[in-house]
Structure 1
Amino acid sequence: MLKKVAIALGVLLLLAAGVVAYLWHQATALPDWYTEGELGDYAGEPVEGEEPGAIHHWIALDEQGNQIPDFDPASLPRRYYTYDDPSTEPPAVDPAADPAAGPTLRKRMRSGSGSGSGSGKTKAKRHELRGFHVRTGKDGKPQRSPAVRASRAVYEDGRLEVGLILDLSRLPKDELRPRSRERYERAVTNFPGLTKRDVWVGVEDEPISVEGYLQLSPGAEVRVGKLTYSLATAAKRMGMTELEMRMEINRELRRLGFTDPEA
């Protein structure tokens, strides 16, 4: 009898281990653009001679994934925000909390693209924003968080995917503010794999357009590897409300220059 119980428990343990291994694999999966692409394209090295704080611009791509040569990024809104001057950060607008903002919102439901949409020009299939985590400082040197190794955002058919490759073991925890340190501790407690290897963390949504910038809708989801969480679930794990998390992410999207590529 004891042998049968032991065998049964062993089977259950193997099944449990299999589930854990599967979840671990899913949570630590990395995107193809990072594992198979050219890392230099997403590492965000500033262009020589770039103005301090200049935002990165969307790259328009055709059906084959080739960059559209006649796309002029200068036609997009151009703002400058710096890491060391909080006064330059624009306010985040949350449509769910601010009904007055309603008239300024446009849901992303157009099938066309604003870039190259004129007669005789190639239409963009999708837009990419690469290496947006890096900025050129006032001294001309790149500014970045040591925990972020690469970044990429894709906007296609009205859907936005924003992703960062993180290694939180490289984060200078002593330099964090108390609130940020508390969130860091919560993050590594709830997602322990974040400190052991490169992890893909991001946000997916069908965003809305607010004053020329992409902003999250209430249906946004947070991604860790191949696992997805609702914004409410992720916020709870981080000790925040859903509204607080959406507002923070929206503020960052504005600061990082996530203009609406179809505006």
Structure 2
Amino acid sequence: MKLHVIYKGQTVDISYDLLYINADEVNIRFSNSNAQSCKFLIQYLEANRLDYVLKDREDYKEIVALPDIFALTLSTKGTYRSPVIKDNLYDAIIKRSNDIELTHNTIREFKRNVKIIDAKLADMQDDLSKSEYARSIDNITKEILEFKRCKQLEALALTEEHLDVSRETMPTVETLEVTYEVSTLFKLEDFAKLLYIYRYLEDQSKLSKKYQKVYDTLDKLEKYMYPEYVKEVEALGQNLFAELQEKAAKWAENEPNISEWIREKCRQFGFEVESEDED
């Protein structure tokens, strides 16, 4: 049996064995063969910060949750989290959805190729009026087309098999990772320095390879980021940042509006910043 989980607009089917809907709780039981579905639902609940209890038995696992947090389709009834907040479970769902869509496109392409080859073969009628040389060329061409058709059908069968596997594969992650507001990941002073460097690099007509890497890293900044992003920034190196900070400071001397731009950006990223008049 299957239920739908609707997560941020993405629908995923989960396989379960038993479902009990009582006045005070919902019980969903998973046999060991549906362990991945159970894992997905747990990650789904944790990502939405929904309370649950897991009963882990030898032959099955059972999830117990409050009934008022689920519609019958297991889609969340309210907005439990901001839509801009991401997690790697959602990324896994998107990756799976994209893979399925790409596989569908590939299947259509293989089927189209087979039809084209069939049409070419149908047009190649035996013509006894042709010379022996021309008929030999036609026969070789037919053999080539039939070989191509065979390979297209083999590829089509493999792709359809991959699609079946993808549909049955639950999008789970080893460890659920949730994004955090940038203001909780960086100190205000350090973040402001990054913004100065970013604007300096953005204003340059051409960047060296190492500067381009810094720009590409800083260009990823959104209000909510994974904690690993801090490590990615640190991995660029303190010496490189010191070098860029010095250049950005000199560049900023001729940019009268840069300070207010930095303040506004910091506010947008969730930092508490005093106005220039209050400094």
Q: What range is the shorter-chain TM-score in?
A: under 0.3
TM-score, normalising length: structure 2 = 0.19
Taking structure 1 as the reference length, the TM-score comes to 0.20
The structure whose residues are more often helix, as a share, is 2
Rg (Cα) greater in structure? 2
Which structure is higher in RCO with an 8 Å CA cutoff and minimum separation 6?
1
Report which of the two has the higher share of strand. Answer: 1
